[in-house]
Amino acid sequence: MRNEILSHLNSPRQLEKLYRANKAGFRQEFNGIYPQLSGNLLADIWNERLNYEPEEISWGSRNEFLFVVLATLVAGILAKLPAIFPISEDFYYPRNVSFLVFPFLTAFFAWKNKPADSTISFISFATVVCALYINFLPNNPQSDTLLLACIHLPLLLWVILGLSFAGDELSDYRKRLSYLRFNGDLAVMCALLVIAGVLMTAITIGLFALIGFRIENFYFEYVVVFGLPAVPIVATYLTQTNPQLVNKVSPVIAKLFSPLVLVMLVVYLGAIVYSGKDPYNDREFLMLFNVLLIGVMALIFFSVAEGAAFRRSASGVWVLLLLAIVTVVVNGVALSAISFRISAWGITPNRVAVLGANVLMLVHLLLVAVMLFRTVTRKAAISEVGKAIALYIPVYFVWAAVVVFLFPLIFNFK
């Protein structure tokens, strides 16, 4: 692509053909070579076309704004259902908390992207089936399979959201990487909105307290309950109408935290040896260990997704490779710990679920580590690492579906 751009630099028609054939690849390669082309009129025009960012904040169309307002109100009402109807909070929230957000984001992207009718039908059918299934499971608060189903259900809805985001381009791995980048941007925007919300809450409650009104209960029961599900909905709206708000922040965060997390992991593994803690005999420690593993994996995948869109330095790729290798070690420790617990104390739904997840993550990490090694040795491009990440995502979907739909039956709802 790079050589083709350079050879057709004075041919607008050929450049347009190259761009339409592979927009993401064209943007990546053009941005990499533009500094040496600055001053060339056609190159300057393409630079503005590919990288122009409006200076003013866009609030989208009137219909988009109305959609966000309506979705926020409906999500808030759904969050308040246990207070409106005689529904147990312990029954309702663990099963339905993910339905306060994901269906609305799915509907937003389905409306924006206008996928084929068959895709919309499948998305709608899958969402309804998930909602009915999880709410008709036997109400046994002590059931491990019920807890596992509630934990893995958001992953299914996350993949369904990805179908809506990709539209009719699901087979294109670059669209899947765009979805991962969207998740990173969404996390950043949600964090900013939460910080602003916390400040507003503290100021509002404090001001009313100064004049003798105690509004804490009312504020948390109505404003906060409506505000929490609104955060990801509003954040999605802002990231889609104003991508320039966070598309520079997210890569910086990924680039900054990757080496810091690498150092932290190495130090942490060394500290475990001296602390006396081990995941083999401490169940809670093993759970936290796996949460750490998932968080680090998410950072690696998001960093690679960002690197696939923009040219990443060789040192950055080396950091990701080392981080992937250390994470493989962490995964190996977690996998050996859960295998030890199964051999020592037998099979339980929780142990099988953790074992399966660790095996899948280990395979994925190994694939990513191999592709990162090929990248640093210049045998593959960083986009190939992103491809390895994107094409593996359906495996997690299948495993989550097994845990949600089959584990309760296999283990007799215990």
* pLDDT tens digits along 84-134: 888 899 899 999 999 999 999 999 999 988 888 888 999 999 999 999 999
pTM: 0.81
Q: In b/e form, how buried is each residue of 276-300, taking b as 16+ CB within 10 angstroms?
A: eeebeeeeebbeebbebbeebbebb
What is the model's pLDDT at position 6?
79
What average pLDDT does the structure give for the chain?
85
Q: Kindly report which listed range (11-25, 79-93, 129-143, 250-264) carries the lowest average pLDDT score.
A: 11-25
Which residues have C-beta within 8 Å of that of residue 310, sequence separation ≥ 6? 28, 31, 251
pLDDT category of residue 302 using cuts at 50, 70 and 90: confident
Percent of the chain whose pLDDT exceeds 90: 32
**Is pLDDT at 170 greater than 90 in this prediction?**
no
What is the model's pLDDT at position 24?
66
3-class DSSP assignment, residue 322: helix
- Tell me the per-residue pLDDT of 355-375, one tens digit each, with 9 for 90 and over: 999 999 999 999 999 988 988
What is the model's pLDDT at position 307?
60
